[in-house]
Chains A and B, each alone.
Chain A
Amino acid sequence: MRDKPGAGRQDLKALLAKEAGKLPQPDRRAFLAKGLTLAGGAMLGSATSAAAAAGSNLPPGVPPWTRSVGRGVVTVPYGMPSRYEQEIVRRTVSWLTASAISSISFTPLHRLKGIITPNGLVFERYHGGVPEIDPAEHRLIVHGLVERPLIFTMDDLMRFPSVSVIRFIECPANGGMEWRGAQMEALQFTHGMLSCCEWTGVPLATLLQEVGVGAEAKWLLAEGADGSAMSRSIPLDKALDDSIVVYAQNGEMLRPEQGYPLRLLNPGWEGNTSVKWLRRLELGDAAWYHREETSKYTDLMADGRARKFSWVQETNSVITFPCPENGLKQTGKYEIEGLAWSGRGRIKRVDVSVDGGVSWRRARVKGLVLPKALTRFGMEWDWDGGPALLQSRAVDETGYVQPTLAQLREARGVESIYHKNAIHTWRVAAGGEVTNVQID
């Protein structure tokens, strides 16, 4: 561009138009939306259609990948998903927040299997962007009402006896756009502020014992090293119960998006309390009432008063197949699948309705059933090609039954933003298309 002599203002505009305009549509999207590589989106489509058109890769044809050899070891030292999986990415809804620096993205639940969220797909929530922290220069200070304030290096922390647990993390605003009505057209956006990983670290109880908790201490302030210095007050009994100072997820060190090199994990509690990029823990005798526990993360009721310290993510569930992204194509047998979770413990049972809640059938809970973890369920269903209204209803081991949205609205109004754990409805149309709806 700089080689073009004499380009004036009009030429500049024309150039702008030309730069974007000469790109095919999917590429323009990438160019403008997320800065993806320009080639990416087009490859998938062209490769697929080429194969389909030729037909020679299908039996009895023998495809080229069978008649050749592929790439060797460490061509890709850190492995990535197949290029045919490029659509399986985190996404955001740009109008939700003022800036991507303080915003949220959503996990593509509609394409995940089992209960573990791959590290690159764990939803993001930043209040001041992702800091790039050199672990050699990261420190955790534990001080306040303690016997001996200590400063730990990452090596110190990783030397403590470690624990590994599988736990979900959910933003309390998950589903919060739909208190008034259905407006998100995809499972990724209705429930995607939710992920589940195996987390490894040192129990906070161990660290607190190491510093010696003062007799007056009742609360603990957790603070991040990021540009928002995120801070939350945590009651000491949670800290001593099952909180973990985490440095690894799913077998590798934390991703920068998840707090590298160190984060707090408060299992079952709203994700915001699991402070990322953790740099400081202060023990005190009262709560701090910081911005993220007053202005935000409080639940406004219809009477104008607001709930504070609303930490637990109550029992919730959603059907992940079918869903708006995964419609039905042929009649016949399907397995309805979904995820259930509770911040109070294990999922005990899940029921599924295909008629909008008139009748329910007990679903099968599949695989690992862990406390405060995603739990997968499935139920066989013979689709006759007609319309249906699919719902799931989870029960946890405390006996709590996932409520209806009408019940939540009755108790809380429609302005509370957080902690909407209502039974969710997908409408299956006669053609198999699935849409997000709300019903009476």
Chain B
Amino acid sequence: MYRSTRVFVGLWAMLAVSACAPESAPPPVSSSSASGAGAVAVAAATETAPSPTRIGSTARNIGALDDIEELSVAIEEGRKRSGYFGYGDPATPEQIAGWDIDVRPDGKGLPPGSGTAEQGEALYEEKCSACHGVFGEGEGRWPKLVGDEPLTGERPEKTVGNYWPYASTLWDYVHRAMPFYEPQSLSDDEVYAIVAYVLYMNELIEYEFVLNQDNLAAIEMPNRDGFFVDPRPDVVNVLCMEECKNPDDIRITWDSTELGVTPVEHFKDDEDDSVSTPAVAAVTLDDGAGQKVYEQACKTCHGPGLAGAPVVGDADAWAARRDQGLEVLVRHAIEGFQGEAGYMPAKGGQMQLGDEEVAAAVSYMLHNSGAAQ
């Protein structure tokens, strides 16, 4: 009882400090900046006069206290000791260990293990390259991983090499969320190896470098110092009401309808719907087309049978799928499908493919599995 009270007082003291003097890195309250206060003062001078409040303090309190008296109840409860309600069970170290997967830039959270780019290369090609490209160049709209182009150019592509500030982030993310269709399936050593290979492709470590728990945090990423804490509000508009600009100067610089890249058929009756609905009806590709698409887009999984994918040549597996109806099968291939055996990503993740190309590939796979009838 005594201890928890003390801790809580300490906590509020700490918060008071952080709100007034956000010099600790990184400051947790971005909006309490000097520019914020200035912005309000300028806006107030231009027209109506909101009393010049400090945005920092306002931002912290608006919404918390004004309209919800319930939250003041919460704060009152906050003055009580921990364990006041007594709900929940103590989380055991074993329970926590099973879910506590996060890794920080200082290396906290990294498990024992190691891997080299040499070991990661084959793993990467098997598990990552279908989406991220054999050279980390990114297939279609899947993320590009490798590149050192400057971030100041026209539409710069952010990669691990030119943008990510910490190697720990890469380890954490690969471990928690990759491969995309089989998250949290990699062993710790596999994660070290794949991370090493991605770093190697970005020319940040050597091919033989043994990446491990102790040296990962020390890797200096090129864009480590490329981030700064949000300074908004960063622009000040004025509340002009009359003659705010010269009507003759107004020029339409962009008209969205000139591009025609968004679906509009739901409100424009006379639009053709080519944007969102290339038709399976247009299956007129020659015999080689299905095979070509298969080789390029489907074989990674449907060759060896990754992620529960039916293997081409497995007549029973394909007949079962064909029997749900060809149109259903094609639709699943185009839109993606979660089955009992595994998961079919939409177009196998190759969103650059047209629907008719996917249909042709399905046709090819059925035919070569003796299930085309």
CB neighbours of A397 from chain B (8 A)? 50, 58, 62
- A437, B55: Cβ atoms under 8 Å? no
Least Cβ–Cβ distance between A219 and chain B, in angstroms? 7
Least Cβ–Cβ distance between B173 and chain A, in angstroms? 4
Q: Which of A72-80, A114-122, A149-157, A255-263 forms contacts with chain B?
A: A149-157
- A100, B229: Cβ atoms under 8 Å? no
- A402, B8: Cβ atoms under 8 Å? no
- B280, A437: Cβ atoms under 8 Å? no
Q: Which of A56-64, A280-288, A332-340 forms contacts with chain B?
A: A280-288
- A268, B63: Cβ atoms under 8 Å? yes
- A439, B253: Cβ atoms under 8 Å? yes
- B229, A209: Cβ atoms under 8 Å? no
- A184, B262: Cβ atoms under 8 Å? yes
- A19, B326: Cβ atoms under 8 Å? yes
Q: Which of A47-55, A246-254, A290-298, A375-383 forms contacts with chain B?
A: A290-298
User: Quick one: which of B52, B177, B273 contacts A227, CB cutoff 8 A?
Assistant: B177
CB neighbours of A182 from chain B (8 A)? 254-256
Interface residues of A in 31-52 (CB under 8 A from B): 31-35
Given A20-B279, A147-B4, A210-B82, do A314 and B233 touch, yes or no (CB 8 Å)?
yes
Interface residues of B in 153-204 (CB under 8 A from A): 155-156, 158, 160, 163-166, 168-169, 172-173, 176-177, 180, 183-184
Residue of A164, A231, A241 with highest tally of chain B CB at under 10 A? A241
Interface residues of B in 28-69 (CB under 8 A from A): 28-31, 39-40, 43-44, 48, 50, 52-53, 55, 58-64, 66-68
- B90, A210: Cβ atoms under 8 Å? no
User: Quick one: which of B39, B55, B141, B165 contacts A294, CB cutoff 8 A?
Assistant: B165
- A9, B372: Cβ atoms under 8 Å? yes
User: Quick one: which of A147, A304, A399 contacts B50, CB cutoff 8 A?
Assistant: A399
Per-residue A-contact encoding for B76-92, CB less than 8 Å = 1, 0 else: 01101111110111110
User: Quick one: which of B281, B327, B335, B355 contacts A100, CB cutoff 8 A?
Assistant: B335
- A210, B244: Cβ atoms under 8 Å? no
- A149, B96: Cβ atoms under 8 Å? yes
CB neighbours of B80 from chain A (8 A)? 209
- B255, A143: Cβ atoms under 8 Å? no
State the CA gap A20–B335 with chains docked (Å): 15
Does any Cβ of B come within 8 Å of A12's Cβ?
yes
* Chain A, residue nearest B60 (CB): A241
Does any Cβ of A come within 8 Å of B264's Cβ?
yes
Does any Cβ of A come within 8 Å of B71's Cβ?
yes
Does any Cβ of B come within 8 Å of A95's Cβ?
yes
CB neighbours of B150 from chain A (8 A)? 304
- A1, B255: Cβ atoms under 8 Å? no
Does any Cβ of B come within 8 Å of A94's Cβ?
yes
CB neighbours of A112 from chain B (8 A)? none
Per-residue B-contact encoding for A132-147, CB less than 8 Å = 1, 0 else: 0000000001110001
CB neighbours of A6 from chain B (8 A)? 373
- B63, A371: Cβ atoms under 8 Å? yes
- Which range holds the interface residue count of chain A? 35 or more
Does any Cβ of B come within 8 Å of A407's Cβ?
yes
- A398, B245: Cβ atoms under 8 Å? no
State the CA gap A356–B102 with chains docked (Å): 49
CB neighbours of A142 from chain B (8 A)? 91
- A127, B177: Cβ atoms under 8 Å? yes
State the CA gap A228–B327 with chains docked (Å): 30
State the CA gap A299–B84 with chains docked (Å): 42
Least Cβ–Cβ distance between B345 and chain A, in angstroms? 6
* Chain A, residue nearest B48 (CB): A349
CB neighbours of A173 from chain B (8 A)? none
Does any Cβ of B come within 8 Å of A69's Cβ?
no
- B177, A228: Cβ atoms under 8 Å? yes
Least Cβ–Cβ distance between A300 and chain B, in angstroms? 6
- A209, B84: Cβ atoms under 8 Å? yes
Per-residue A-contact encoding for B330-364, CB less than 8 Å = 1, 0 else: 11001110100000011001010001000110010
Least Cβ–Cβ distance between A280 and chain B, in angstroms? 5
- B266, A344: Cβ atoms under 8 Å? no
- A12, B238: Cβ atoms under 8 Å? no
Per-residue A-contact encoding for B193-228, CB less than 8 Å = 1, 0 else: 000000000000000000000000000000000111
Does any Cβ of B come within 8 Å of A176's Cβ?
no
State the CA gap A411–B67 with chains docked (Å): 34
- A231, B28: Cβ atoms under 8 Å? no
- A143, B165: Cβ atoms under 8 Å? no
- B11, A344: Cβ atoms under 8 Å? no
- B252, A152: Cβ atoms under 8 Å? no
Does any Cβ of B come within 8 Å of A236's Cβ?
yes
Does any Cβ of A come within 8 Å of B70's Cβ?
yes
Interface residues of A in 204-241 (CB under 8 A from B): 205-206, 208-215, 217-219, 221, 223, 227-229, 231, 235-238, 240-241
Given A183-B262, A439-B252, do A150 and B247 touch, yes or no (CB 8 Å)?
no
State the CA gap A325–B301 with chains docked (Å): 42
Does any Cβ of B come within 8 Å of A355's Cβ?
yes
CB neighbours of A1 from chain B (8 A)? 322, 325-326
CB neighbours of B8 from chain A (8 A)? 209, 212-213
Does any Cβ of B come within 8 Å of A440's Cβ?
yes
CB neighbours of A291 from chain B (8 A)? 169, 172-173, 177
Does any Cβ of B come within 8 Å of A15's Cβ?
yes
- B140, A185: Cβ atoms under 8 Å? no
Does any Cβ of B come within 8 Å of A84's Cβ?
no
Does any Cβ of B come within 8 Å of A430's Cβ?
no
- B244, A359: Cβ atoms under 8 Å? yes
CB neighbours of A331 from chain B (8 A)? none
CB neighbours of A351 from chain B (8 A)? 239, 241
Given A407-B235, A438-B254, do A357 and B267 touch, yes or no (CB 8 Å)?
no
- A312, B31: Cβ atoms under 8 Å? yes
Residue of A219, A235, A268 with highest tally of chain B CB at under 10 A? A235
Does any Cβ of A come within 8 Å of B234's Cβ?
yes
- B263, A91: Cβ atoms under 8 Å? yes
Does any Cβ of A come within 8 Å of B236's Cβ?
yes
CB neighbours of A15 from chain B (8 A)? 326
Does any Cβ of A come within 8 Å of B106's Cβ?
yes
User: Quick one: which of A33, A159, A358 contacts B277, CB cutoff 8 A?
Assistant: A33
Does any Cβ of B come within 8 Å of A385's Cβ?
no
CB neighbours of A329 from chain B (8 A)? none
Least Cβ–Cβ distance between B261 and chain A, in angstroms? 6
State the CA gap A286–B284 with chains docked (Å): 58
* Chain A, residue nearest B7 (CB): A215
Between-chain CB contacts (< 8 Å), 13 pairs: A8-B373, A31-B331, A93-B261, A95-B351, A129-B338, A150-B90, A288-B102, A304-B152, A307-B229, A344-B58, A357-B245, A395-B239, A398-B55
Top 10 nearest A-B pairs (CB, nearest first) are: A235-B28, A212-B82, A345-B62, A181-B254, A371-B63, A203-B74, A310-B230, A163-B70, A304-B151, A399-B50
